[in-house]
Amino acid sequence: MQLPLTQPGADAPPQALSATPLLQLAQVSIDYPQGEHWVRATHQISLSVMQGDRFVLLGASGCGKSTLLKAIGGFVTPSEGSITLAGRRITQPGPDRAVVFQEFDQLPPWKTVRENVLFPLLAARRCGRKEAAERAELYLAKVGLAKFADAYPHQLSGGMKQRVAIARALAMQPELLLMDEPFAALDALTRRRMQDELLALWDEFRFTLVFVTHAIEEALVVGNRIAILSPHPGRLRAEIDSERFGFNNAGSADFQATTQRIHGLLFETPRAAAGVEA
């Protein structure tokens, strides 16, 4: 069976043809200084993310996924190319992009769960105090943590901390939710549950997500589109439409075949990737 792959630089998938991309990366290269030299982390990557996409950046360790996400967040400046959000060039971090990281220590430990969600809302003047309080209650309830609003991060499990980070990010009602391997440090059962909960939140709020992972199955389940990056430096190898995959068909022949093909693309085994090489 042939995968619905598009080659790098090819047109966007059919459902998006008439829409304007929310996020656009055009020929983005990023270099880091290393001694007297520069090391290229990503090379001329072009991508378009549509409103409501669950867009996954998938690649092996060191291929530049986090670097690309940091550049979208405005924390890293590309050496060439441009990144635009709703037509505006990204040059610095802003409250229109909320980030959830992998690390459990992303929540200030001296603030309660409620304060953790409230603080960025107030600091960014995203809304007034009353609305901020209402948003904090709403999103904490949505991630199942209403009863823990007065707890401190050290009193929570890893999964609960990630739920707070997600509530904090969603409460900002950002144009883009950026997630950098948010579930990678969780045990397998919790990880799966968190993926499920994230999809349920997306069903309700339809935010636009850019999600970094190195796990093929996670990419297929979470994403509706997947960009596959090759390593050293990271280049766009292929783009996959993964809308049809979910937990309900994770054992299917189609799912397994797609997993194998992606594996071939990631690790450049020509046979496995036959017919879908970029």
Ligand X SMILES: Nc1ncnc2c1ncn2[C@@H]1O[C@H](COP(=O)(O)OP(=O)(O)OP(=O)(O)O)[C@@H](O)[C@H]1O
Q: Which stretch binds ligand X (CB under 6 A): 2-10, 60-68, 123-131, 189-197?
A: 60-68
Q: Using the minimum distance from each CB to ligand X, give the nearer residue, 65 or 142.
A: 65
Q: Using the minimum distance from each CB to ligand X, give the nearer residue, 145 or 228.
A: 228
Does the footprint of ligand X cover residue 41 (CB under 6 A)?
Answer: yes
Q: Using the minimum distance from each CB to ligand X, give the nearer residue, 41 or 171.
A: 41
Does the footprint of ligand X cover residue 242 (CB under 6 A)?
Answer: no
Q: Which stretch binds ligand X (CB under 6 A): 32-40, 137-145, 199-207, 246-254?
A: 32-40
Contact with ligand X (CB under 6 A) among 24, 29, 44, 67 = 67
Token code pair at residue 161: 């901390």
Q: Which stretch binds ligand X (CB under 6 A): 1-9, 65-73, 236-244, 245-253?
A: 65-73
Does the footprint of ligand X cover residue 63 (CB under 6 A)?
Answer: yes
Neighbours of 173 (CB within 10 A): 17
Binding mask 196-235 for ligand X (x = CB under 6 A): ------------------x---------------------
**Binding-site size, ligand X (CB under 6 A):** 13
Q: Which residues bind ligand X (CB under 6 A)?
A: 32, 34, 39, 41, 59, 61-67, 214
